[in-house]
Chain A
Amino acid sequence: MKSHYRAARRRFVCLSALLVAGAALAAGRALAADAAPQPQDVRAVDQDVQTLKKQLVDLNRDLFKLEEELLYPASTQVAVFLAVDVGTFFALDSVQIKVDNKEVANYLYTDREVQALHRGGVQKLYLGNLKAGEHELVAFFTGKGPHDRDYRRGTSLKFEKAVGAKYLELRISDRVAALQPEFVVRQWE
């Protein structure tokens, strides 16, 4: 039985040493795992995939540009963005946009999208075409207002569409003094 015990002990020492070594790697932000050499074929495939991904990004970029130039030329383009500034008094559920009394967008938000807006992201909510001249945009915001009550508010803007692309921004912010949300729409030059 002595030899069995010794074998077990040897195994134990080996295990503990390896575990400690492994545990160092376990921190993740750690010592040697990233520097470990990879098999040649893994590296080659990874290299190919990297090249391919870059080409796919470039291809998508060119496709996006073509799509926009073809479908939304600058002379008629109108883009509507949505931004949230603080937004303590309003939890956004959906936004409806009407241009010249015609509904052009009706968007229901996921939690992830709302979080992205709160972190400083700005959503390109609508991209369309309008003739030069005067138009009216009306936006309706639906969600939960102060005291978790259902809340629906609208805001509107009359604007002049000229030859160049038109950018409009819908912004949800806090009117701290009134403890109410505020909804505004403004034009970008």
Chain B
Amino acid sequence: MTLARSHPWLVLALAAACIVGPCDAGAQDAVSVAAPPATIRDLDYGDVLFHFFQDDYFESIVRLEVARDFGRIPHHEAEAELLSGGLYLSLGLHAEATRIFEGLLGTPVPQSVSDRAFFYLARIHYQRGYLDKAWRDLQRIRGALPGQLEPERRLLAANVLMAEGRFAEASAQLQNWSDQSSWAQYARFNLGVALVRSGATAPGRVLLDAVGNEPAVSEEQMSLRDRANLALGFASLQQHDTDGAVAALNRVRLDGPFTNRALLGLGWAEADAKRPERALVPWLELRNRRLVDSAVQESFLAVPYAYAQLASNGQAAQQYQLAVQAYAAEAGRIDESIAAIRRGGFLDAVLEAVPRTNDVGWFWQLQKIPDAPHTRYLYRLMASHEFQEGLKNYRDLRIMRRNVERWRDSLAAFDDMIAARERAAAEREPHKQQVLASTDLGAFEQREAELKRRAAAIESARDVVALATSEEAQHWQALERVEVAVQALPEGPQRDGLEERAGVLRGTLLWQLDAQYKVRARKLDKGLQDTSAALVEAQRRVGEVVQAGDLAPRNTAGFAERVQELVARVDQIAPRVDAATAAQERVLAQLAVNELEAEKRRLASYATQAQFALASLYDGAVARGAQ
């Protein structure tokens, strides 16, 4: 970054990088990690994906953790673990993501899962500069990755090789890569640039030329094509191939993010070809643009240079004076910006200027550059990786702070709710005790036992009379009374006759009772079973009531304890979030001030060059006058 800060061009290039680079990669990353299963077998996993697919990564990871704790996603365990790694990565938690991916690879998982885990580990290692580990991880991927991950894997492999200086191997990777996806184009572009940087200019230019002539439809494709043509143009200029440079730079769009740089390069190409009058065309166009752009600042020196080359020294002197004034005015605006940033609250102004969405995530991007006076120069910063990460952290912390406050309100409501439940339970208690006191289950149990004993005795003795109906029982009792009365009569034919008739009646009645016995015994048995079941149910209900009474205070106390513990955690974390937010703001403000001061030094340097050139022109005029 020292080099980057030393020269505006590199900063500009980095700025351009972050607008479409890591953000796109990140988005692809996030989507691919959660390739939805063909069938959702656990609805809660689908719910996690529902939030994930809306880029609401914080909500998604929280729901995932909750669902796992409740054991609600048993059919998607490996996928869920992989997704959690991706989600933590999305939130910028690299260490946690690495721990998850490595842990996943230590367990038996399907190859489709392990391949993706290796890929993400490779990418983390590459981003951290551990190229050997990244290469090792990539080599462990056994099959083709799903969707856009496969071309991204190939690009990553090429990038690792290039970073290790293994250009021939990187070239070989690309040669077998036949598809025309944007990933392949990025790889070709990267390799072209790497080759030019390594001194292999000719093959590098061939690759850049190919990318620079690719048909482009999307903004990303057009932007990459512009970039390739810009790089090719400057590489050609290095080789003093001015015609090649002009051809490449003319292919850059007139209204894209690289237009200013192309216009400046185009002027230099014409100047290099000793055509200063043609160099003036792009440079004059450039000079009318916003002075915050380094290429525009440079044009204030380039224009008088061209006039000087055309021997229009008067115009050159006038333009140099204009440049000195413009640089001074811009330096004044920078001072205002620095003062505004040091007053604080500048990040709020930045965030106000960007789209408001509620998702917290790694891939959150600035969609447009704020142009408020105190954020006039910050577009370069905001496009830098370092600043973007800090700004995302700042924004995430602000969202999380609001989240903590919402929970604080909810916890207060939970507390009230638990208190209300306790009050309601206390109010119900006397009535409950009254009902319980009036319910003598013991007496019922005794009666049931007695009935069972009687039934068993009847069954074992086949006591058919015991199961007589009340009418039959009356008849039986009447018959017994008759028999006693008959026995009291004096012996003789009358008593014999009555005994016989009583015997017939007894036989008839017993026969009737015996005929009904089986049915009545079954009925008795069923009745006893129903009684037992009813008694068991009554016992259960009374038990529940008693238990509920015993547990109610304990349950609400359990919830109350949890609420208290969570309130304490909320109270403890809220000031830490505030402190981290403030620290993040300080760091970002310092980064911004550093950048603006560097910008001011650059402008001072330009002003010095303009003043020096002006002095040279005057010296020349004086010398010519003296002759």
Q: Contact residues of A with B, CB < 8 Å?
A: 1, 3-5, 7-8, 12-38, 41-42, 45-46, 48-50, 52-71, 79, 81, 83, 112-113, 115-117, 119-124, 167, 169, 188
Collect the chain A residues with CB atoms within 8 Å of residue B603's CB: none
User: With A20-B193, A27-B21 as given contacts, are A53 and B400 in contact (CB-CB < 8 Å)?
Assistant: yes
> Is B13 within 8 A of A26, CB to CB?
yes
| CA of A18 to CA of B69, assembled, Å | 52
| CA of A71 to CA of B413, assembled, Å | 11
B414: contacting residue among A49, A56, A67, CB under 8 A: A67
B385 closest partner in A (C-beta): A33
> Is A20 within 8 A of B231, CB to CB?
yes
| 9 examples of A-B residue contacts, CB within 8 angstroms | A15-B264, A22-B12, A24-B197, A27-B190, A28-B17, A28-B186, A30-B21, A50-B94, A169-B43
Collect the chain A residues with CB atoms within 8 Å of residue B1's CB: 36-37
| CA of A120 to CA of B88, assembled, Å | 21
Collect the chain A residues with CB atoms within 8 Å of residue B576's CB: 52
- One digit per residue, 1 when the CB lies within 8 angstroms of any chain A CB and 0 when it does not, for chain B 93-122 equals 111100000000000000000000000000
- Shortest Cβ distance from residue A102 to the other chain B in the assembled complex, whole angstroms: 22
User: With A31-B163, A42-B587 as given contacts, are A22 and B13 in contact (CB-CB < 8 Å)?
Assistant: yes
A121: contacting residue among B12, B52, B271, CB under 8 A: B52
B238: contacting residue among A16, A22, A53, A70, CB under 8 A: A16
Stretch in B54-62, B457-465, B485-493 with 4+ CB within 8 Å of A: B54-62
A112: contacting residue among B54, B265, B386, CB under 8 A: B54
Considering only residues 175-194 of chain B, those with a C-beta below 8 Å from chain A are 183, 186, 189-190, 193-194
A16: contacting residue among B65, B126, B234, CB under 8 A: B234
Q: Does B9 contact A (CB under 8 A)?
A: yes
User: With A52-B576, A66-B559, A119-B53 as given contacts, are A81 and B47 in contact (CB-CB < 8 Å)?
Assistant: yes
Collect the chain B residues with CB atoms within 8 Å of residue A26's CB: 13-14, 16-17, 21, 227
- Shortest Cβ distance from residue A50 to the other chain B in the assembled complex, whole angstroms: 5
Q: Is the interface of A mostly helix, strand, loop or mixed?
A: helix
A79 closest partner in B (C-beta): B43
B308: contacting residue among A4, A31, A38, A53, CB under 8 A: A4
> Is B13 within 8 A of A23, CB to CB?
yes
Considering only residues 261-319 of chain B, those with a C-beta below 8 Å from chain A are 261, 264-265, 268, 271-272, 298, 301-302, 305, 308-309
| CA of A4 to CA of B615, assembled, Å | 11
Collect the chain B residues with CB atoms within 8 Å of residue A70's CB: 414, 417-418, 559
Contact-residue size bin, chain B (C-beta under 8 Å from the other chain):
35 or more
| CA of A12 to CA of B270, assembled, Å | 12
In the complex, besides A29-B152, A116-B54, 7 extra interface pairs with C-beta distance below 8 angstroms are: A1-B620, A22-B10, A34-B128, A67-B414, A112-B54, A120-B46, A124-B50
A21: contacting residue among B197, B261, B305, B583, CB under 8 A: B197
> Is A120 within 8 A of B49, CB to CB?
yes
> Is B40 within 8 A of A45, CB to CB?
no
Collect the chain A residues with CB atoms within 8 Å of residue B156's CB: 29
Collect the chain A residues with CB atoms within 8 Å of residue B95's CB: 50
Q: In the complex, which of the residues A14, A33, A64 has the most CB atoms of chain B within 10 Å of its own CB atom?
A: A33
> Is B584 within 8 A of A49, CB to CB?
yes
User: With A4-B305, A120-B49 as given contacts, are A53 and B91 in contact (CB-CB < 8 Å)?
Assistant: yes
> Is A116 within 8 A of B190, CB to CB?
no
> Is B308 within 8 A of A188, CB to CB?
no
> Is A59 within 8 A of B569, CB to CB?
yes
Q: Does B141 contact A (CB under 8 A)?
A: no
B46 closest partner in A (C-beta): A122
B306 closest partner in A (C-beta): A8
| CA of A49 to CA of B620, assembled, Å | 60
Q: Does B203 contact A (CB under 8 A)?
A: no
Collect the chain B residues with CB atoms within 8 Å of residue A67's CB: 410, 414
Q: Which 5 A-B pairs have the closest CB atoms?
A: A28-B21, A22-B13, A122-B46, A120-B36, A121-B50
> Is B47 within 8 A of A121, CB to CB?
yes
> Is A25 within 8 A of B46, CB to CB?
no
Q: Does B369 contact A (CB under 8 A)?
A: no
A25: contacting residue among B17, B25, B94, B152, CB under 8 A: B17
Collect the chain A residues with CB atoms within 8 Å of residue B186's CB: 27-30
| CA of A70 to CA of B235, assembled, Å | 67
> Is A56 within 8 A of B404, CB to CB?
yes
Collect the chain B residues with CB atoms within 8 Å of residue A64's CB: 62-63, 66
| CA of A61 to CA of B61, assembled, Å | 9
Q: Does B127 contact A (CB under 8 A)?
A: yes
- Shortest Cβ distance from residue B598 to the other chain A in the assembled complex, whole angstroms: 14
- Shortest Cβ distance from residue B579 to the other chain A in the assembled complex, whole angstroms: 9
A81 closest partner in B (C-beta): B43
> Is A117 within 8 A of B50, CB to CB?
yes
| CA of A56 to CA of B576, assembled, Å | 11
B236 closest partner in A (C-beta): A16
Q: Does B218 contact A (CB under 8 A)?
A: no
Collect the chain A residues with CB atoms within 8 Å of residue B237's CB: 12, 16
B584: contacting residue among A8, A29, A38, A45, CB under 8 A: A45
| CA of A114 to CA of B13, assembled, Å | 38
Collect the chain B residues with CB atoms within 8 Å of residue A37's CB: 1
Q: Does B378 contact A (CB under 8 A)?
A: no
- Shortest Cβ distance from residue A12 to the other chain B in the assembled complex, whole angstroms: 5
Collect the chain A residues with CB atoms within 8 Å of residue B386's CB: 38, 42
| CA of A116 to CA of B566, assembled, Å | 32
Collect the chain B residues with CB atoms within 8 Å of residue A62's CB: 562, 566, 569
| CA of A68 to CA of B4, assembled, Å | 51
